[in-house]
Amino acid sequence: MTTRNPETETSSEWLTRDRLMSALPDALLEKIRAFRDERDWAPFHNPKDMAIAISLEASELLEHFLWKNPEEVTARVESHREAISEEIADIAIYLTELADNLGIDLADAMEAKLAKNAAKYPVEKARGSAAKYNEL
């Protein structure tokens, strides 16, 4: 697996279509669709309910970190890595299916949003700052 080196490349350089697509091959999308369709769940996977499911799974991920200081977060990641990985996978599966159901190319949407964020958060103003774009 290729890992990102933030010291030598930018997010937009890392997130190329080839890298994203190799990380999420068509076969995986087909598995997501098959899992849903084998269970006849498509009627329940409307945009509203998929968005709610993503939010609920994100909340389950957040539970792992609630009320923990940075050292406790590090320990939690080490001791609950599999459970955290499963929550992240749930979010990714639902997000991938939602985009697919809406006819949104996830890679294209991510590329476009990264470009938009780069304009909203120019490096010279945003580096090292957690301020929102309208407060830079």
> Is the pTM higher than 0.75?
yes
pLDDT score for 6: 46
Mean pLDDT over residues 57-62, rounded?
Answer: 98
Contact 15, 2 (CB under 8 A): no
Residue that wins the pLDDT comparison between 21 and 105: 105
In tens, the pLDDT along 107-117 reads: 889 999 999 99
3-state secondary structure string across 26-91? HHHHHHHHHHHHHCCCHHHCCHHHHHHHHHHHHHHHHHCCCCCCHHHHHHHHHHCHHHHHHHHHHH
Q: What angle, 0 to 180 degrees and rounded to 10, lies between the N-to-C axes of helices 81-102 and 26-38?
A: 90
pLDDT score for 71: 98
